[in-house]
A and B are shown apart, each in its own frame.
Chain A
Amino acid sequence: MSRQKHARSIDEALAECLDALEHGESALQDRLAQYPEYRQQLLELLSLRQPLASLGQLSPRRAFAESAKQELMAKLPDRSAASRPPLSRLWQFRLPVFRLRAGTLISALAILTVIFLVTHGVHRAASAAGPGDLLYGLNLKLEHVQKLLTRDAKAATRLRLDLANKRLAEVQDELEDGDIGNALIALQGYKDEMAAVIEIIYNTSGPERYALLDYLARTRLEHLDILRLVLAKVPASAQSAVQHAIEASGSGDDLPISRPEAVPSDRPDDGEPWEEAALPEPPLGTPEGSPVTGTPRSDSPEAPIELPAGPPVGLPILPGPPTDRPAAGADAPKKTVPTIESGPRVATPIPPRVPTPPIESGPPAERSAPPTGGRPPEARPPANPPGPAENPAPPADLGGPPEQPGPPPDARPSEPGPPANLPGPPDRPSPPGGRP
Chain B
Amino acid sequence: MSKERSDFSEKHLLRLAAQGDKEAYGVLYERYLDEIYRYVTYRVGDPQEAEDITANVFVRTWERLPKMARRHRNSSSFRGWLYRVAKNLVVDFYRRREPMPLPDGLHKEDGLVEGIAAQHTKANQLVEAISLLQSDYQQIIILRFINQLSHKECANIMKRSVGATRVLQHRALERLREIIQNESTEAR
Contact (A54, B22) CB under 8 Å given A71-B55, A72-B55: no
CB pair B25–A76 under 8 Å, yes or no, is yes
Name the B residues within 8 Å of A51 (CB-CB). 120, 122-123, 126
Give per-residue flags for A311-330: 1 if the beta carbon is below 8 A from chain B beta carbons, else 0.
00000000000000000000
CB pair B174–A52 under 8 Å, yes or no, is no
CB pair B123–A55 under 8 Å, yes or no, is yes
Which of A15, A68, A77 lies in contact with B63, CB distance below 8 A? A77
CB pair B170–A55 under 8 Å, yes or no, is no
Name the B residues within 8 Å of A61 (CB-CB). 47, 51, 110
- Asked if A53 is at the interface (CB within 8 A of a chain B CB), the reply is yes
Name the A residues within 8 Å of B139 (CB-CB). none
Name the B residues within 8 Å of A57 (CB-CB). 112, 115-116
CB pair A45–B37 under 8 Å, yes or no, is no
- Asked if B4 is at the interface (CB within 8 A of a chain A CB), the reply is no
Q: Could you tell me the distance in whole angstroms from the C-beta of A205 to the nearest C-beta in chain B?
A: 67
Q: Could you tell me the distance in whole angstroms from the C-beta of B24 to the nearest C-beta in chain A?
A: 11
B residues 154-188 near A (Cβ < 8 Å) are 166-167, 169-170, 173-174, 176-177, 180
Contact (A53, B146) CB under 8 Å given A73-B26, A79-B66: yes
Q: Could you tell me the distance in whole angstroms from the C-beta of A280 to the nearest C-beta in chain B?
A: 79
CB pair B126–A79 under 8 Å, yes or no, is no
Nearest A-chain residue to B147, judged by Cβ:
A56
Name the A residues within 8 Å of B120 (CB-CB). 50-51, 54
Nearest B-chain residue to A71, judged by Cβ:
B55
Q: Could you tell me the distance in whole angstroms from the C-beta of B161 to the nearest C-beta in chain A?
A: 12
CB pair A15–B66 under 8 Å, yes or no, is no
Nearest B-chain residue to A70, judged by Cβ:
B26
Which of B20, B34, B62, B141 lies in contact with A60, CB distance below 8 A? B34
A48–B170 Cα distance when bound, in Å, is: 12
CB pair B47–A72 under 8 Å, yes or no, is no
Nearest A-chain residue to B62, judged by Cβ:
A76
CB pair A58–B123 under 8 Å, yes or no, is no
Name the A residues within 8 Å of B145 (CB-CB). 48-49, 52-53, 55
A81–B22 Cα distance when bound, in Å, is: 12
- Interface window among A6-14, A188-196, A223-231: A6-14
B residues 37-53 near A (Cβ < 8 Å) are 37-38, 41-42, 47, 50-51
Query: Secondary structure at chain A's binding surface: helix, strand, loop or mixed?
Result: helix
A211–B142 Cα distance when bound, in Å, is: 94
Nearest A-chain residue to B127, judged by Cβ:
A55
Name the A residues within 8 Å of B173 (CB-CB). 14, 45, 48
Give per-residue flags for B76-102: 1 if the beta carbon is below 8 A from chain A beta carbons, else 0.
000000000000000000000000000
CB pair B34–A75 under 8 Å, yes or no, is no
CB pair B169–A14 under 8 Å, yes or no, is yes
Contact (A11, B167) CB under 8 Å given A52-B145, A54-B120: yes
Nearest B-chain residue to A88, judged by Cβ:
B66
A51–B146 Cα distance when bound, in Å, is: 9
CB pair B151–A48 under 8 Å, yes or no, is no
CB pair A68–B33 under 8 Å, yes or no, is yes
Nearest B-chain residue to A82, judged by Cβ:
B20
A224–B149 Cα distance when bound, in Å, is: 92
Nearest A-chain residue to B181, judged by Cβ:
A44
Nearest B-chain residue to A55, judged by Cβ:
B146
Contact (A54, B141) CB under 8 Å given A45-B174, A69-B29, A76-B22: no
Contact (A54, B119) CB under 8 Å given A11-B170, A68-B51: yes
Nearest B-chain residue to A47, judged by Cβ:
B177
Name the A residues within 8 Å of B115 (CB-CB). 57
A126–B26 Cα distance when bound, in Å, is: 63
Contact (A59, B29) CB under 8 Å given A51-B123, A72-B58: no
- Asked if B19 is at the interface (CB within 8 A of a chain A CB), the reply is yes
- Asked if A64 is at the interface (CB within 8 A of a chain B CB), the reply is yes
Nearest A-chain residue to B174, judged by Cβ:
A45
CB pair B38–A12 under 8 Å, yes or no, is no
A49–B130 Cα distance when bound, in Å, is: 13
Name the B residues within 8 Å of A58 (CB-CB). 37-38, 41-42, 112-113, 116, 146
CB pair B20–A81 under 8 Å, yes or no, is yes
Give per-residue flags for A5-47: 1 if the beta carbon is below 8 A from chain B beta carbons, else 0.
0011011101100100000000000000000000000001100
5 contacts between A and B (CB under 8 A): A50-B120, A51-B120, A55-B126, A55-B145, A58-B41
Q: Return the 10 tightest CB-CB contacts between A and B, nearest first.
A: A52-B145, A80-B20, A60-B37, A51-B120, A79-B20, A11-B170, A45-B173, A15-B166, A56-B146, A55-B146
